[in-house]
Every structure is written in C-alpha cells, then in structure tokens.
A and B are shown apart, each in its own frame.
Chain A
Amino acid sequence: SQTIHQWPATLVQPVGSPLSLECTVEGTSNPNLYWYRQAAGRGLQLLFYSVGIGQISSEVPQNLSASRPQDRQFILSSKKLLLSDSGFYLCAWTTSAGGYEQYFGPGTRLTVT
C-alpha cells in the first residue's frame, strides 16, 4: 500500500530564516506530487506540482521554491521566511496514469515569528 510522509510535523521559525520541508511517498512509482498551503480557516492553495524528477511548476509567485531530487521526494524551501508564510503545508500525490484522486500527507504546521 502507498503511504506519504511529511516532516517536520510542526516548525517555528523566525522571519528571515531558511525553510526546508520534506515529503516522501512510498509504494508507488512516478507519482505526480503537489504542495499546498492552507491558512487558518481557509481552503487549500496549490503552490507547486511536479510530474517527474526535476520538473517543477509553480502556481503562484512567492518566495518559496520546490525541488524534486528523487522520484518520490518533494521538497519545499525558502531562503528567507516572511510572516505571511505561516500556515499548514500539505503534500499530496496522485498516480501519473490519469487518476485524479489525490492522497494527502499529515501536514506541517509552520509558524513564522
């Protein structure tokens, strides 16, 4: 069966510090991967998606970036965090074979102080 992991679960970082959030998927090959951000009391905003190693598409301009160094690893980064980067970050995957159902990880709660 497939599982998706995210870490850390929670993170408190000062403004201006770097960020690295990691997501890994097990039990599937060549998944499509997604990063979402969810502000408190709001819906999910798609930040990045990837259809393969090294292939990243950005949905919204911001000071975040994403990378996919391995088939089942997706990383969200920032060089300098802003207060507005606080939120709940969710990674998701779906099969590249045409399925649309996305499976979500447990999320990372980021607080920028």
Chain B
Amino acid sequence: GESVGLHLPTLSVQEGDNSIINCAYSNSASDYFIWYKQESGKGPQFIIDIRSNMDKRQGQRVTVLLNKTVKHLSLQIAATQPGDSAVYFCAENAGGTSYGKLTFGQGTILTVHP
C-alpha cells in the first residue's frame, strides 16, 4: 500500500508509442482495483477500474489487465500523448466491511516526449 523510498519508478516513452505501467498488489482478498492519473499539483483522476472476476477491461485508449495468480495489475495506454504525462497510481479495495477504503501503490511517473 503505502509507498516506500523517495524515488518513484519512472517510464519514458515517445509520443505515439504504447505505454505499460505495472503494479503489484499485496492483498489476495482484494476484489476491486482502480487506476488513477495525477497531474502535478492536482488531485488524482479516475482512469479505469476492474473487479476481481475479470482479467481484462478496456476503455478509451486504456486497458487494464489483472493477474490474480501473481497479484499483478497493469495499465496499457495506446498511442501515448504528451498529455498523458503524469504520475499513475494503482489502488486496491479489500471489499467486505472496508468501507470503500483504497490502498494505494507508490505510483509511476510517466513522461511522454514529443
């Protein structure tokens, strides 16, 4: 959940390339996963979510893949644009009586070069 260390993973891509951002989650009981995009100085924005009964979900230019066997989540961004540059966070929810609480990963900095 909470990030460790002061240096977030970074990913640099060229405009037009596809980007893949990875996330390992910790709780095998988690039944809901979500990706957020956070631009500098702003609050996180919802990108896409997926429930544990699915292994793939597609949105506009984004795809989330879930591998419950190895507790791994990935976000694929097609035809990455400079406006996609931001920090990307994955988050998980353990369901049950957790009152909608999300546990966030440490984040990945995506930089898109024109």
Contacts and interface: CB of A to CB of B under 8 A. Distances in A.
A76 B98 CA distance: 21
A104 interface: yes
Contacts, number: 62
Contacts of B54: none
B46 A90 contact: no
A42 B17 CA distance: 26
Interface stretch (A44-52, A63-71, A78-86): A44-52
Where chain B touches its partner, the secondary structure class is loop
B8 interface: yes
A41 B8 contact: yes
Nearest to A96: B100
B105 A42 contact: no
A70 B8 CA distance: 37
A45 B102 contact: no
B107 A106 contact: no
26 contacts: A32-B100, A42-B2, A42-B6, A42-B8, A42-B106, A43-B1, A43-B2, A43-B3, A43-B106, A43-B107, A44-B44, A44-B104, A46-B103, A57-B99, A90-B44, A94-B100, A96-B100, A100-B32, A100-B100, A101-B34, A102-B34, A102-B102, A104-B44, A106-B42, A107-B42, A107-B43
Interface of B: 1-3, 6-8, 32, 34, 36, 41-46, 49, 89, 93, 99-107
Given A43-B3, A100-B49, A100-B100, 8 more contacts: A41-B7, A42-B3, A42-B107, A43-B106, A43-B107, A57-B99, A101-B46, A105-B43
